[in-house]
Amino acid sequence: MYNLQEEGRGQLYVPHSYEPYRGLAIAIRTTGDPTSLTAAVRRAIHGVDPNQPIADVSTMRLAVRDSLAQRRLVLTLVGGFAAAALLLVALGIYGVSETVAVTWAVGFHLLSFIPITLIGAYYFARAGLTFAELSKAASSGGSEPSPGAEARKVRPSAKPPAA
């Protein structure tokens, strides 16, 4: 069956008497209402062969519509869900006010600093620094050495005696 999702195939006219096969399709072009010609086409076919079965009479518009039915269903569902989500957001159905949203945002922001603060305090303690030294260094702009800084300085060793 031909549909709009498949690549078109080449066509070749071969008379039915040369190569008969089951499933013959006839397409008729009209300028008027296509359904009004159904009875006349049936009479013309039965005039040639009264035993010829005629089934699945349809317009090209219906054939195209049926060919696109699955794609239209998927797009309609996706579009419907997107519209419903947009409507819920626009109406505020989720029940989150601006105050609650800001509170949660600030809370999560602060909670993200707690682990890094604890890790930093651990490394300060491991290095032997105290909060008193940090506050004194911060208030002096870092220009005054902290107590015990002399003990941490590296002193050059004395030159070995000349041999």
Q: Is residue 160 part of a domain?
A: no
Asked whether residue 154 carries a pLDDT value surpassing 50, the answer given is no
pTM passes above 0.75: no
- Give the domain extent around 136: 95-152
Compute the half-sphere exposure of residue 96: CA atoms within 13 Å on the CB side of its CA.
10
Q: Is residue 144 part of a domain?
A: yes
In this prediction, residue 163 has a pLDDT band, given cuts at 50, 70 and 90, of low
What would the pLDDT profile of 65-86 be if each residue is shown by its tens digit? 888 888 899 999 999 888 888 8
Same domain, 65 and 16: yes
Q: Is residue 76 part of a domain?
A: no
Distance in angstroms (rounded) separating the CA atoms of residues 133 and 121: 13
Same domain, 60 and 1: yes
Same domain, 102 and 54: no
Same domain, 64 and 110: no
Q: pLDDT higher for 152 or 58? A: 58
In the chain, the number of structural domains is 2
